[in-house]
């Protein structure tokens, strides 16, 4: 499809509101914010470095933090490289990031007094590996080679993360801060913070730059769902609803019975095309309500239709949030469509049919702008929490 070729413009020259006269006010606000951000970046570069933090990326979610949130680059670009590294200055902090199979305890130079350790705690084998890294960090703390340690944890999808508790400062351990993925009831905004799952960086999902055609081109499909349909799950209900009203003819639906961790190039390209060519992306719950699909849809301006249902396990409301599931996204005002049951979908799609292109364009802009702001907020929050905790005499 020739028309689907997207040239990616740099954020300085791309302005989604151009030519939209009634939104000129928003456009000038946007330019003001962009310039303010550029000035902040320049100021940040000139600020003396008060903190050096090395991030050890031992789980793919580290790439979401580094490339999507902190907007850092990695050398070499090849995802399969044994060793990849990058550095970036943000606020008073100089961050460096290392990842790859060659990053092994004891076999690389620890170049900062402060470390953020990115770990996968989803299943037993991963926990064993994560524990080895925690023991290594503990030794470095005990021998005064490190001063502070924070952990960013891909938690278990049922929020069974008890294994890490003994390592946390609040339980007599050495880990001062925990950024945890999924709706953990432990989140307290004091030393435990919820962190977004983000996109599937392990499948090489890219940082997507919005383009003119992504925003303005009419999309061929009302909705999409490309994924696994598990037996006796709400996904079966979703498939029935789509077939029953012949809604599957208006949507890009590719269902399979077995989960595939490794996409082929073709299936991944299809998935990206589906996001790009659909107004809505259906996000049924899996083992957890939060899934990569939500963030991937936002990247392409396709509104997530989220099944707003708690999944079995120990996830739930924390002491500071009371709107699980997806407490973090809801608190940040995510402009999604939430449904409690897929039987509500026909009404949602009927409404879609009656929307004109101009309304859809406005909604796309709103979603893409919200997602950009969300990532910027997470970046500020991450830096602020580290600086506040690791620079105790520089608070404020």
Is residue 54's pLDDT more than 60? yes
| Domain ranges within the chain, ordered by starting residue | 48-195, 203-374
**Residue 8: per-residue pLDDT:** 39
Q: Do 346 and 238 meet the contact criterion of CB atoms below 8 Å apart?
A: no
Phi, psi of 269 (to 5 degrees): -65, -45
Q: Encode pLDDT of 124-182 as tens digits.
A: 999 999 999 999 999 999 999 999 999 999 999 999 999 999 999 999 999 999 999 99
Is residue 23's pLDDT more than 60? no
- Banded model confidence at residue 321, pLDDT cuts 50, 70, 90: confident
Is residue 379's pLDDT more than 70? yes
Nearest to 377 by CA among 149, 70, 115: 70
Pick the CATH number of 48-195 from 1.10.15, 1.10.10, 1.10.1760, 3.40.50: 3.40.50
Phi, psi of 96 (to 5 degrees): -125, 155
Q: Do 135 and 141 meet the contact criterion of CB atoms below 8 Å apart?
A: no
Average pLDDT of 224-233? 92
Tokens standing for residue 3: 């028309």
Is residue 33's pLDDT more than 90? no
3-state secondary structure of 128: helix
d(CA 202, CA 71) in angstroms, rounded, equals 17
Strands (E), 184-242: 192-195, 221-228
d(CA 207, CA 342) in angstroms, rounded, equals 30
CB atoms within 10 A of CB 65: 26
Q: Which helix (H) or strand (E) holds 393?
A: none
- Banded model confidence at residue 47, pLDDT cuts 50, 70, 90: confident
3-state secondary structure of 190: coil
**Residue 246: per-residue pLDDT:** 86
CB atoms within 10 A of CB 319: 12
Average pLDDT of 248-262? 81
Q: Encode pLDDT of 192-219 as tens digits.
A: 999 999 999 998 999 999 999 999 999 9
**Residue 322: per-residue pLDDT:** 84
Query: In the predicted model, what is the mean pLDDT of the chain?
Result: 89
Q: Do 323 and 331 meet the contact criterion of CB atoms below 8 Å apart?
A: yes
Q: Do 44 and 88 meet the contact criterion of CB atoms below 8 Å apart?
A: no
Q: Encode pLDDT of 282-300 as tens digits.
A: 999 999 999 999 999 999 9
**Residue 37: per-residue pLDDT:** 65
Nearest to 346 by CA among 259, 280, 273, 302: 280
Average pLDDT of 362-390? 97
DSSP 349: H
Q: Do 317 and 325 meet the contact criterion of CB atoms below 8 Å apart?
A: no
Pairing mode, if any, of strands 148-154 and 114-120?
parallel
Q: Which helix (H) or strand (E) holds 389?
A: helix 357-390
**Residue 35: per-residue pLDDT:** 67
DSSP assignment of 267-329: HHHHHHHHHHTEEEEEE--SSSS--HHHHHHHHTTPEEEEE--PPSSS----SS--S-SSHHH
Least confident of 16-25, 258-267, 294-303, 352-361: 16-25
Is residue 14's pLDDT more than 60? no
Length of the chain: 396
- Banded model confidence at residue 256, pLDDT cuts 50, 70, 90: confident
Tokens standing for residue 167: 């390592």
**Residue 364: per-residue pLDDT:** 97
Q: Do 223 and 305 meet the contact criterion of CB atoms below 8 Å apart?
A: yes
**Residue 262: per-residue pLDDT:** 63
Is residue 4's pLDDT more than 50? no
Q: Which helix (H) or strand (E) holds 22?
A: none
Do 48-195 and 203-374 fold alike per CATH? yes
Q: 29 or 368, which is more confident?
A: 368
Q: Encode pLDDT of 327-368 as tens digits.
A: 999 999 999 999 999 999 999 999 999 999 999 999 999 999
Rounded to two decimals, the pTM is 0.87
- Banded model confidence at residue 29, pLDDT cuts 50, 70, 90: low
CATH number 3.40.50 given to 203-374: yes
DSSP 111: -
d(CA 395, CA 40) in angstroms, rounded, equals 19
Q: Do 117 and 133 meet the contact criterion of CB atoms below 8 Å apart?
A: yes
Average pLDDT of 245-273? 84
CB atoms within 10 A of CB 3: 7
Is residue 81's pLDDT more than 90? yes
CB atoms within 10 A of CB 396: 3
Q: Do 255 and 239 meet the contact criterion of CB atoms below 8 Å apart?
A: yes
């Amino acid at each position: 499809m020739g028309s689907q070729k997207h040239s990616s413009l740099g954020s300085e020259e791309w302005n989604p509101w151009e030519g939209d006269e009634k939104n000129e006010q928003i456009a000038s606000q946007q330019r003001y914010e962009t310039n303010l951000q550029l000035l902040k970046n320049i100021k940040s570069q000139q600020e003396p470095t008060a903190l050096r933090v090395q991030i050890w990326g031992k789980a793919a979610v580290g790439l979401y933090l580094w490339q999507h949130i902190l907007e850092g680059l990695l050398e070499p670009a090849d995802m399969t490289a044994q060793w990849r590294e990058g550095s970036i200055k943000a606020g008073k902090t100089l961050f460096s990031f290392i990842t790859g199979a060659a990053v092994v305890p004891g076999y690389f130079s620890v170049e900062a007094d402060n470390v953020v350790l990115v770990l996968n705690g989803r299943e037993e084998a991963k926990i064993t590996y994560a524990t080895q890294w925690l023991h290594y960090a503990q030794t470095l703390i005990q021998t005064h080679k490190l001063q502070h340690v924070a952990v960013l944890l891909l938690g278990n999808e049922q929020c069974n993360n008890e294994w890490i508790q003994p390592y946390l400062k609040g339980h007599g351990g050495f880990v001062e801060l925990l950024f945890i993925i999924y709706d953990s009831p432990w989140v307290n905004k004091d030393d435990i913070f919820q962190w977004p799952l983000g996109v599937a960086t392990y499948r090489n999902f890219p940082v997507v730059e919005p383009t003119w055609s992504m925003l303005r081109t009419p999309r061929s499909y009302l909705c999409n769902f490309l994924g696994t349909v598990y037996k006796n799950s709400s996904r079966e209900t979703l498939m029935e609803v789509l077939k029953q009203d012949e809604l599957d003819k208006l949507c890009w639906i590719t269902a399979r019975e077995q989960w595939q961790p490794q996409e082929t190039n073709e299936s991944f390209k299809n998935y990206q095309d589906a996001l790009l060519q659909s107004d809505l992306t259906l996000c049924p719950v899996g083992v957890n309500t939060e899934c990569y699909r939500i963030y991937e849809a936002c990247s392409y301006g396709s509104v997530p239709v989220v099944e707003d249902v708690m999944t079995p396990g120990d996830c739930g409301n924390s002491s500071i949030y009371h709107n699980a599931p997806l407490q973090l996204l809801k608190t940040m005002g995510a402009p999604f469509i939430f449904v409690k049951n897929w039987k509500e979908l026909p009404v949602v799609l009927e409404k879609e049919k009656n929307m004109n292109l101009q309304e859809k364009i406005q909604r796309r802009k709103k979603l893409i702008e919200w997602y950009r702001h969300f990532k910027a907020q997470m970046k500020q929050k991450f830096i602020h929490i580290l600086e506040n905790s690791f620079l105790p005499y520089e608070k404020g």
